[in-house]
Amino acid sequence: MSAPRVEVAATGEGRAPAIAVLPAADLGPRDLLAAIAAEELGGVVITGAFDPGELAALVAHLEAHPGPAGPLRSAHFPGITWGQLLVLSPPDRVGYHERAADLRALLATAPLDIEQRFLAGLARAAGGRRVAVPTDAAGRPYAGLTVRALPPGVEIAVHSETGTWPSMADLVEGLLVDGHQLSTYAPLVVPPDGGVLQVFHRPPPGRQPPVDRLPHDAAIDALTSFGLTRVRPRPGDLLIFDGSRYNHRVLASAAGTRWTAGGFVGRGPEGWLLWS
């Protein structure tokens, strides 16, 4: 039997994220993005958002066409990316918009243009409201999403999205109505034994552990004491969750590479914005 998509693995005094599991066919006029931003939901796993076979074909296409879009490596990200991550770009975003254009061109030749399908999936999750990729003051589009490959034995350490990176200043200060970010991704290929997203429950006010100053294991133990939810979206699913309010990490797999495509969502003046 497959493990559940959402599972409360530990309880404590923290606030657990209410993560719903909804079929794409059942989405209606409710803006689920707004519900997550307003803390009515902690997140949502939308099933049937993509065709798993098309996602696997997309991964094969990326691997068969190396070039300026990727594979890219960074000293600050443990995996490999297609497209340059905004949070790891220099303050003036040198190379970022060029890599975004390179990735967009590569995706346009793939069996599945995941960026366009992602935007459509998010628009459905937003109850039909507009979701778009922002542009900077010079008219250069941001990356709507990036593709990330996490090799065996490598995890993504505990973190939350704050929007305080210098490379994000123009986006946060000039385009977002508020600085709050939602995290979103679609699994493309998932190893059978890993790639699990751990979402730590929110401690009561004033009791947040100093995660940045604690050793890795001590930080995990301190956060887990307040509660922990495991999220296992599958290929074909679309996950959106409150990555700003909830610390989270991705577990390593023993064998097999974890492939995802995703980015971040924030409220713009005329709808929702997607970037990575």
Domain that holds residue 226: 6-275
pLDDT of 169 > 70? The answer is yes
Query: Mind listing the pLDDT tens digit for each residue in 225-247?
Result: 999 999 999 999 999 999 999 99
Q: What is the predicted pLDDT for the residue at 147?
A: 98
Q: What is the predicted pLDDT for the residue at 229?
A: 98
- Would 87 be classed as within a structural domain? yes
Supply the CATH number for residue 92's domain: 2.60.120.620
Q: How much is the mean pLDDT over the chain?
A: 94
What is the tally of structural domains in the chain?
Answer: 1
pLDDT of 173 > 90? The answer is no
Share of the chain above pLDDT 70, in %: 99
Q: What is the predicted pLDDT for the residue at 179?
A: 76
pLDDT of 163 > 80? The answer is no
Query: Mind listing the pLDDT tens digit for each residue in 49-58?
Result: 999 999 999 9
Mean pLDDT of 70-90: 93
146 band by pLDDT with thresholds 50, 70 and 90: very high
- Would 223 be classed as within a structural domain? yes
- Would 1 be classed as within a structural domain? no
3 band by pLDDT with thresholds 50, 70 and 90: confident
Single pTM value for the model: 0.95
DSSP letters for the chain = -PPPSEEEEEESSSBPP-EEEEEGGG--SS-HHHHHHTTS-SEEEEETSS-HHHHHHHHHHHHH--BTTB-EEETTEEEEEES--GGGS-TT-TTHHHHHHHHHHHHHTSSS-HHHHHHHHHHHHTTT--EE--B-TTSPBPPS-EEEEE-TT--EEEE------GGGHHHHHHT-SSS--EEEEEEEE--TT--PEEEEPBPPTT----GGGS-HHHHHHHHHTTEEEEE---TT-EEEE-TTTS-EEE---SSS-EEEEEEEEEEETTEEEEE-
pLDDT of 1 > 60? The answer is no
- Would 68 be classed as within a structural domain? yes
Query: Mind listing the pLDDT tens digit for each residue in 186-220?
Result: 999 999 877 899 999 999 999 988 888 889 899 99
Share of the chain above pLDDT 90, in %: 80
